[in-house]
Amino acid sequence: MKAIEQDYLEKKFIEYAKLNTRSEMESTNVPSTSRQIVLLKKLIQELKSLSVKEVSYSEEDAYVVGRIPSNVAQEVAPIGFVAHVDTADFNAEKIKPQVYRNYNGEDINLGHGYTLSRKEFPSLNKVLGQTLITTSGDTLLGADDKAGITGLLGMVKYLKENPDFKHGEIWVAFGPDEEIGKGAARFNIERFPVEFAYTLDNGNPGDITYETFNAASARIKIKGTVVHPGEAYGLMVNATLIANEFINQLPSDFVPEKSKDYQGFILVLSNESNVDHAQIDLIIRSFDTEEFKAKKQLVKNLVNTLNNKYGEDRVSLEMHDQYHSPGDEIKKHPYVVNLAKHAYEKLGLPINYVPFRGGTDGDFITEKGIPTPNLFNGGANFHGRYEYVTVENMALLAKTLLTIANLHVDLDKKRDNTPLRRK
């Protein structure tokens, strides 16, 4: 493989990073903010100028998709790559990316009184000598996920300029509203006819994520009976005390502050109560589907027990699933992860299976029938002023995607379906 052209990556990343594409949870529009469309339209132009076929935008899901035809004679299952255009809930106005060539490891004065140092952020040790791009201290950078977008464009440009580089059919997709968990949920995957795909969202070179939390939220409402305290004997039912009884029966070691790696939790978000009524909001998170079901059942059982004790419909429960880990589904298609692993090995990247303790676009896309693990975008310190990325890491991402596409041509027929292991 020839070298990836880094000037292009730097220029594109900075152009896109400067655009405010912050999404907005409260909005009901598609996409949630019209400023995201500005970047989506630019990406349509860029894909077209890179000779991508069937580039289209749909107002229904606000996704830009495009197709790169296969250049090999044999049949190869089509694969896809996905990145998102929106940025997280942090100031994104007037982003001024700062470029440090040949980063020498010294503390960087970002501006606005903030310093980026190796002491505080040891991950910087891995990018010494590279072209580092940071914020100016008052905004986020948006490497999440504009680094993913840029790396993907790097792949597309390489394929245009190197028509002899072998690959099957590839689809690219750029979507909105990942940060608010709505974009991929709306994605009409009939527009994205691939057998499997990868998101390029966060993470370090070498990371592969195919398991995330299963997530549910629950609201418990409790009705009490208010009576004058002096005459309450045998009559008063105190909703606050029932709320306490409920919370005290939740497992005390299944909480975020005692949970890491592949461990889950139940988090009581709030408990507002008086004698008359109480409302408890909680969330349930678990990597393991059986455990997830069991914890939801536990909450139901506690509600039933309290109703049996205090009388029917004192306690009501509303519970819904928010998203599901793609893990069970992807484990049925281990080739998807093993292909990425083989590409990493070929590039000499360290392979890290990382459990993602949150939701991703891949959760929704996998649930719709396209197994979609996450790779990386090469940035760090996402969602805030300390965010950074290097041009070299974006080039490495482009190289990784090219390697996946190229290896897939030969490996597709003799798929490595070795079962997936967490370590």
46 vs 178, beta carbon nearer Zn ion:
178
Catalytic residue among 10, 145, 169, 178: 178
Q: How far is the CB of 122 from Zn ion (least distance, A)?
A: 22
Q: Which residue type sits at 420?
A: L
184 vs 420, beta carbon nearer Zn ion:
184
159 vs 184, beta carbon nearer Zn ion:
184
Q: Is 261 a catalytic residue?
A: no
Burial bucket for residue 180 (CB in 10 Å: 0-12, 13-18, 19+): buried
d(CA 216, CA 282): 9
Residues from 140 through 179 that contact Zn ion (CB under 5 A): 144-145
Catalytic residue among 86, 179, 361, 387: 86
Q: How far is the CB of 394 from Zn ion (least distance, A)?
A: 15
Using an 8 Å Cβ cutoff, are 301 and 319 in contact? no
Q: How far is the CB of 359 from Zn ion (least distance, A)?
A: 11
Distance of CA 93 to the CA centre of its chain: 23
Query: Among the residues of 253-348, which ranges form H helices?
Result: 289-310, 327-331, 334-347
18 vs 383, beta carbon nearer Zn ion:
383
Tokens of 351: 């392979």
Q: How many residues bind Zn ion (CB under 5 A)?
A: 3
Distance spanning both ends of the chain, measured CA to CA: 30
Q: Where are the beta strands (DSSP E) in 151-239?
A: 170-175, 196-199, 207-208, 214-223
What mask, x for binding Zn ion by CB under 5 A, covers residues 118 to 147? --------------------------xx--
Nearest to 372 by CA among 210, 255, 180, 166: 210
Instruction: Work out whether 201 is an interface residue with Zn ion (CB under 5 A).
Output: yes
Instruction: Work out whether 329 is an interface residue with Zn ion (CB under 5 A).
Output: no
Q: Is 61 a catalytic residue?
A: no
Nearest to 63 by CA among 190, 158, 151, 208: 190
Q: How far is the CB of 301 from Zn ion (least distance, A)?
A: 36
Instruction: Work out whether 211 is an interface residue with Zn ion (CB under 5 A).
Output: no
The residues annotated with a catalytic role in the active site are 86, 178
Binding site for Zn ion (CB under 5 A): 144-145, 201
